[in-house]
Amino acid sequence: MTTVALKDVTKVFPDGTVAVDNVSLDVNDGEFMVLLGPSGCGKSTVLRMVAGLEDPSSGAIMLDGALVNDVPPRDRRIAMVFQDFALYPHMTVGDNIAFPLRLSGVEPGPRGARVADVAGALGIGDVLARKPSQLSGGQRQRVAMGRAIVRRPGLFLMDEPLSNLDSGLRAELRAEISGLVRELGVSTIYVTHDQAEALTMADRVAIMRKGVLQDVGTPTQVYGRPATLYVAAFLGSPRMNLLEASVYVHLDRYVALNLGEQSLYLPWDDIRTRAVAHYHGERIVVGMRAEALTPVAPDAPGDVLRGRIRYLEHHGHESLAFLDIGATAIVVDELGGPVTEQPGGPSRLRRLGNVMQRLTGRAVEAPPDAEVVRPSASRTSVLNDPGRHHRRPAELAVRLAPYPAVAAGHPLAISVRMDALHFFDGRGDRIDVGWR
Ligand SMILES: Nc1ncnc2c1ncn2[C@@H]1O[C@H](COP(=O)(O)OP(=O)(O)OP(=O)(O)O)[C@@H](O)[C@H]1O
């Protein structure tokens, strides 16, 4: 099946928007590659360039090792499935699926057999005589898939094909789609902003932000060893706890990570210690996912952080406690740069205001408790990132049992799995070398 290689591909639209910024990416034979990122990060533009619907401003697009920048879409052996797929309303399901075969002159006999095969594989063999208006949303999506598959393409390009469906159907269809394309062995590029879709369906995930490729790897790699602070913050629910830490080296003993009121200690023989020790006297970002944190007895020894529960969230199968440990949170704004917030900072009201502003595009008046700090001069500080930086205390997300015996205001001690910590520098790049 078709292999894809993007080499240094950039797309600048006539109005100056840089939608895709120097992206290089390979999709192997039969691979299911998911392009993941928030709205506007350039995923669809990448897909459209691979399809030939958009010309790159610079760089090369190769299919099966051949440059195709000037090859028209119809000659690329590609099938596309979009979110707002359009079925022909006056045609039956069978005729809709058969349509591409009719266009390319396949005889009625083999045409019927191919349609029956595809419809059987998609579980819509019994509705071939119906019109699209007589189908459910999920069935219509299967017909759209069938119409793409029936041509036996070398490459599938799918742009948010499930986003119009309800969540139950999405989960069902994402298993079906990934199962089906693997069975067919067709190389696939699948665009989504839904991390659950990406992590469950992909062989590899490519994560984009503002036109720039941030990380490429298997779901386990990008979740377990994210290349950048942005990827660390983007993947996972609850979000990874990202704390500002000052680094102090105690030669031949340990490296202290000062988190504000408390510290953690990386033993000298830890393989990551040398990389982190380079930042002696500077600030870095320490990431810890909720699964790296376990509640322990108040006087437990070892790598333990102590704090007070600010609030609890009950999720049925588990509860999340948000713990004030006197540290500074690094908040990565999905649309802007990293933002640092420190104790004594803005209220939830202000953060809600920020969200509303993002959703509505309208400025919301800042409550009086908001304090905007100047970017620090430190080379390694995330405060270097341009833009406004707000301050708030870290609220460390910790997983608890469904009905925990603690409540807001209670103290809580948590043990930290030091081997599960992540370290990022001020530019947001992962610190530990040889990490994947
Ligand atoms: N024809 C165009 N002219 C100018 N800018 C464009 C054009 N098409 C897309 N853009 C811009 O390029 C950027 C990337 O758009 P793109 O559609 O690739 O993002 P996306 O990640 O697929 O987003 P979504 O998930 O919302 O579809 C956005 O800022 C978008 O506004």
The length of the chain in residues reads 436
Residues 262 and 379 in one domain: yes
**Atom 11 of ligand 1, residue of closest alpha carbon:** 19
Domain boundary among 225, 248, 266: 225
Question: With a 6 A CB cut-off, is 20 part of the ligand 1 pocket?
Answer: no
Q: How many other C-beta atoms are found inside a 10 Å radius of the C-beta of residue 407?
A: 10
Q: Best of 6, 10, 11, 13 to mutate for ligand 1, by most ligand atoms within 8 A of CB? A: 13
Distance of CA 52 to the CA centre of its chain: 25
Please work out whether the CB of residue 41 comes within 6 Å of at least one atom of ligand 1: yes
Percent composition of the chain: helix, strand, coil (DSSP 3-state, to 5): 30, 30, 40
Q: Is the CB of 11 under 6 A from ligand 1?
A: no
Give the separation between CA 389 and CA 104, rounded to whole angstroms. Answer: 57
**Predicted pLDDT at 161:** 84
Residue 104 and residue 213 in one domain: yes
- For 69, phi then psi, to 5°, come to -50, -35
433 within some domain = no
CA of 7 to the centre of ligand 1 (A): 20
Tell me the residue range of the domain where 81 lies. Answer: 4-225
* Number of domains observed in the structure of the chain: 2
Q: What tokens appear for 203 in the block?
A: 């062989």
pTM for the model stands at: 0.82
Q: How far apart are the first and last CA of the chain?
A: 28
Q: Is 19 in the pocket of ligand 1 (CB under 6 A)?
A: yes
- From the CA of 34, how far away is ligand 1's center (Å)? 17
- Cα–Cα distance measured from residue 260 to residue 415, given in angstroms and rounded to the nearest whole number: 17
Q: What is the pLDDT of residue 123?
A: 85
pLDDT of residue 80: 86
Beta bridge partners of 80: 157
Q: Is the CB of 84 inside a 6 Å radius of any atom of ligand 1?
A: no
Q: Do 212 and 261 fall within a single domain?
A: no
Considering the domain architecture, whether residues 177 and 298 belong to the same structural domain is answered as: no
Distance 63 CA to ligand 1 centre (A): 23
Spacing, Cα 377 to ligand 1 middle (Å): 34
30 and 142 in a single domain? The answer is yes
What CA–CA distance (Å, rounded) separates 317 from 232?
Answer: 24
User: Would you say 187 and 27 are in contact if contact means Cβ atoms under 8 Å apart?
Assistant: yes
Residues 6+ apart with CB under 8 A from 227: 214, 215, 217, 429, 430, 436
State the Cα–Cα distance between residues 406 and 141, nearest whole angstrom: 46
Q: For residue 311, what is the enclosing H or E element?
A: strand 304-314
Claim to verify: residue 280 and residue 166 sit in the same structural domain: no
Question: Which of 21, 41, 57, 82 most suits a substitution to test ligand 1, by most atoms within 8 Å of the C-beta?
Answer: 41
Q: Report the alpha-carbon distance of residue 28 to residue 63 in Å, rounded.
A: 10
Q: Is 40 in the pocket of ligand 1 (CB under 6 A)?
A: yes
Among 23, 43, 48, which is best to mutate for testing ligand 1, by the most ligand atoms less than 8 A from CB?
A: 43
192 lines ligand 1 (CB under 6 A): no
Residue 334 confidence (pLDDT): 56
Asked, for residue 367, whether it belongs to a domain, the answer is yes
Q: Is residue 430 part of a domain?
A: no
Whether residue 44 has its Cβ less than 6 Å from ligand 1:
yes
Atom of ligand 1 nearest to the CA of 20: 14
60, 192: one domain: yes
Structure confidence at residue 354 (pLDDT): 46
The best mutation among 6, 45, 57 to test binding of ligand 1, ranked by most ligand atoms within 8 Å of the C-beta, falls on: 45
SS (H, E, C) 89-126: CCCCHHHHHHHHHHHCCCCHHHHHHHHHHHHHHHCCHH
* Domain-embedded: residue 126: yes
> What are φ and ψ of residue 399, in 5° steps?
-85, 135
CA-nearest of 228, 162, 165 to 201 is 162
Give the Cβ contact number of residue 249 at 10 Å.
19
Tell which of 158, 192, 225 closes a domain. Answer: 225
Tokens of 395: 């609220």
Binding site membership of 17 for ligand 1 (Cβ less than 6 Å): yes
Give dist(CA 322, CA 398) in Å, integer.
Answer: 6
Q: Do 293 and 408 share a domain, yes or no?
A: yes
Angle of helix 108-122 versus helix 167-184 axis, rounded to 10: 130
Find the helix or strand (DSSP H, E) in which 305 lies: strand 304-314
Q: Facing residues of 215 across strands?
A: 207
Which CATH number does the domain housing residue 190 bear? 3.40.50.300
What CA–CA distance (Å, rounded) separates 222 from 206? 9
Boundary of a domain, candidates 225, 256, 285:
225
**SS3 state of residue 414:** strand
- Per-residue pLDDT 10s for the chain (436 aa) are 789 999 999 999 999 999 999 999 999 999 999 999 998 999 999 999 999 999 999 999 999 999 999 999 988 889 888 776 778 999 999 999 999 899 888 898 999 999 998 898 888 999 999 999 999 888 888 898 889 888 888 899 999 888 877 888 888 888 888 888 888 888 999 999 999 999 999 999 999 999 999 999 999 999 999 999 999 999 998 999 999 999 999 988 999 999 998 999 999 998 889 899 999 999 999 999 999 999 999 999 999 999 999 999 999 899 999 999 999 998 886 533 444 444 434 444 444 444 444 444 444 333 333 333 323 333 334 444 433 234 468 999 999 988 888 889 999 999 999 999 999 998 889 998 666 6
Angle CA 349–350–355, to nearest 5: 95
DSSP string, 394-411: EEEEEEE-SS-S--TT-E
Q: What is the pLDDT of residue 365?
A: 37
Residues 174 and 122 both lie in one domain: yes
CA of 55 to the centre of ligand 1 (A): 14
Q: How far is the CA of 157 from the centre of ligand 1 (A)?
A: 17
Same domain, 317 and 394: yes
Is residue 45 in contact with ligand 1, taking CB distance under 6 Å? Answer: yes
DSSP bridge partners of 155: 78, 187
429 part of a folded domain = no
CB 149 within 8 A of CB 97: no
Kindly state the tokens that stand for 294: 């376990």
Which residues share a beta bridge with 81? 158
User: What DSSP line would sit under 205-236, residue for residue?
Assistant: EEEEETTEEEEEE-HHHHHHS-SBHHHHHHSS
| Token digits of residue 40 | 């506007």
